[in-house]
């Protein structure tokens, strides 16, 4: 049976980052070809709309086209901060997964950024400092990657707006540095796309 991988992200920054994740995975595969028959990616802007819009979009754009002859594997990419600190999380992830499976998903995989996707970015402090044209700080202040990134932007007299595209920022990040640090989170995606045969490609960067 053919395989269709679908990736859902939240916000413009997340979308741009996962574009770079996909490009990095492809470049690590020996023949630079994903081992899937179809790969689709969609940004569901705003967490409040995520659950409401996603299932209908999934049925309309994916299920109707691929369900007859494809195994459909869905990846949900999201922050966990609203669940840790919010009294009433706006999205019931378990219910969303059940709805996706009931409507045709063969599997649903959660890629969770702990606590925010900015915690992924912050692993490459050198790249961020170079992008902002500031000196690399000796100590980073803030309890989350988002807080740390906001403070770094302020040092450059700039404002970091979560979820909004910042021209050139994601491009400046070194994925060879970031990938080993987020291996546990993105490994299921790497495996589905065919990187497992070259999985050790990240290890040489672990000590950096």
pLDDT of the residue at 190: 94
Given phi > 0 = left and psi -120 to 50 = alpha, else beta, which region is 152? alpha
Residues 6+ apart with CB under 8 A from 27: none
pLDDT of the residue at 151: 94
pLDDT of the residue at 163: 81
- Between the alpha carbon of residue 12 and those of residues 9, 158, 176, 178, 193, the distances in Å are 8, 18, 22, 19, 23
* Structure letter (DSSP) for residue 113: E
* pLDDT, tens only, 108-148: 999 998 888 999 999 999 999 999 999 998 888 888 899 99
Q: Which of 73, 77, 76, 78 is nearest to 38 (CA)?
A: 73
Between 164 and 65, the more confident residue is 65
* pLDDT, tens only, 168-195: 999 999 999 999 999 999 999 999 999 8
Band (pLDDT 50/70/90 cuts) for residue 102 is very high
pLDDT of the residue at 48: 57
Exposure of 171 by Cβ count < 10 A (0-12 exposed, 13-18 middle, 19+ buried)? exposed
Q: Which of 142, 141, 89 is nearest to 112 (CA)?
A: 89
- Between the alpha carbon of residue 173 and those of residues 61, 81, 128, 176, 200, the distances in Å are 32, 22, 7, 9, 21
pLDDT of the residue at 50: 64
* pLDDT, tens only, 78-89: 888 764 444 445
Q: From CA 3, how far away is CA 66, in angstroms rounded?
A: 9
Kind of pairing, strands 70-79 and 2-9? parallel
pLDDT of the residue at 61: 96
pLDDT of the residue at 165: 85
Under a CB-based contact definition with an 8 Å cutoff, are residues 112 and 81 in contact?
no
Q: From CA 45, how far away is CA 156, in angstroms rounded?
A: 28
* pLDDT, tens only, 31-75: 999 999 999 999 887 555 667 789 999 999 999 999 999 999 999
pLDDT of the residue at 53: 82
Between 33 and 11, the more confident residue is 33
pLDDT of the residue at 88: 47
pLDDT of the residue at 87: 42
Q: Which of 49, 36, 41 is nearest to 8 (CA)?
A: 41
Torsion angle of alpha carbons 29, 204, 119, 14, nearest 10°?
-20
Between 83 and 155, the more confident residue is 155
pLDDT of the residue at 49: 60
């Amino acid at each position: 049976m053919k395989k269709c991988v679908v990736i859902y992200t939240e916000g413009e920054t997340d979308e741009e980052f996962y574009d770079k994740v996909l490009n990095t995975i492809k470049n690590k595969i020996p023949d630079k070809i994903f081992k899937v028959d179809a790969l689709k990616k969609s940004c569901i802007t705003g967490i409040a709309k995520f659950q409401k819009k996603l299932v209908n979009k999934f049925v309309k754009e994916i299920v109707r086209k691929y369900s007859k002859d494809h195994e459909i594997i869905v990846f949900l990419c999201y922050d966990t901060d609203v669940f840790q600190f919010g009294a009433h999380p706006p999205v019931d992830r378990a219910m969303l997964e059940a709805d996706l499976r009931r409507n045709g998903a063969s599997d649903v995989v959660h890629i969770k950024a702990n606590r925010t996707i900015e915690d992924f970015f912050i692993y490459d402090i050198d790249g961020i400092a170079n992008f902002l044209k500031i000196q690399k700080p000796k100590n980073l202040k803030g309890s989350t990657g988002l807080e740390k990134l906001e403070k770094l932007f302020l040092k450059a007299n700039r404002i970091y707006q979560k979820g909004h595209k910042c021209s050139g920022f994601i491009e400046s990040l070194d994925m060879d540095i970031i990938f080993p640090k987020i291996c546990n989170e993105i490994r299921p995606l790497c495996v589905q796309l065919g990187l497992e045969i070259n999985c050790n490609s990240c290890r040489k960067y672990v000590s950096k």
